[in-house]
Amino acid sequence: MKSYKNEVLKKKDEMVKDLQAWIAQKGVYDPNTIKDGAPFGHDVANSLKWIEEKAKSDGFNVKNHEGYCIEITHGEGKECVMVLAHADVVPEGKGWTYPPYGGEVHNGLIYGRGASDDKGPALASYYALKILKEQNIKLKRQIKIVIGGNEESGSKCLKYYFKEKKHPAPTYGFTPDADFPLIYGEKGIMTYVYEGEFSDNLITSFEAGLAANAVPSECEMVLKRELHLQKAFTKWMQRHNFKGEYEEKEGKTYLKFHGKASHGAFPEGGINAFTMLLYWVGKYT
């Protein structure tokens, strides 16, 4: 085989264009557009469809598993190497310097939701296999790339693939969903859902966060009465270098805190707007 690195570099411009095209497919879970063939909604279905059509056009054996995941297969053998990636992304939120679905290139970096989690790494793995295929490299094992549509919201895609469809576990496998070149361990995660009646003599409602695995960057709260604490609010925000809004109208107080978003794996890199707002309300009311 020719130098593999040289073959990769030849594909650079093509891969960048493909990644930009894939980033343009929003890929956010939307329960309001769920239907047969789109179990995670319209946007995720389109994101999966993009990589499905790309792989078909490159001559791969491709199967769409009812909109849960896309399976791309190459080679034969008793043993299987599986690459597990995903085409869904968390909601884009606010505060982007560049359009979240624009895939714009600035200073050698591609900006967009999914550029690093996980469309960029998934496409890199795909191109690695594509080059092997184009160079007619005979493989000792079958290779499968399985791209799911629900990693950010519970991985129902892989549960469907392995448990419902009864596909066997691979002999070897990895997921290109972290820092390059390799991560060999991962923290656990647990998501809680609390349900029940809520009664409070102060709080009418509050809303924060876009995904369970991200630090909420904004929080809004409505209180049942006017607090007359505008000066205290402004002073506290300035002291701690936070941003927020305070408004009183029609007998209620409306509060909004702006924090800093961060992936749930690195909460120390964010500022949790929800906990900050709760702290302020507890301290001053």
Q: What residues are labeled active site?
A: 88, 151
- Judge contact between 85 and 146, C-beta under 8 A: yes
- Can you spell out the DSSP letters for 66-128? TTSEEEEEE---SSEEEEEEE--B----S--SS-TTT-EEETTEEESTTTTTTHHHHHHHHHH
Nearest to 285 by CA among 265, 259, 255, 260: 255
**CA distance linking residue 49 with residue 31, whole number of Å:** 18
**CA distance linking residue 251 with residue 206, whole number of Å:** 17
Q: Which amino acid belongs to residue 246?
A: Y
- Can you spell out the DSSP letters for 149-218? S-GGGT-HHHHIIIIIS-PPPPSEEE---SSSS--------------S----SSEEEEEE-S-TTEE-SE
**CA distance linking residue 44 with residue 26, whole number of Å:** 7
Q: Please tell me whether the peptide bond between 118 and the residue prior to it is cis, using omega within 30 degrees of 0.
A: yes
Q: Which residues contact 87 (CB under 8 A, 6 or more apart)?
A: 22, 25, 27, 44, 47, 48, 50, 51, 70, 114, 118, 119, 122, 147, 148, 149
Tracing tokens 């600035």 back to the chain, one arrives at: 106
**CA distance linking residue 154 with residue 148, whole number of Å:** 11
Q: Which amino acid belongs to residue 73?
A: T
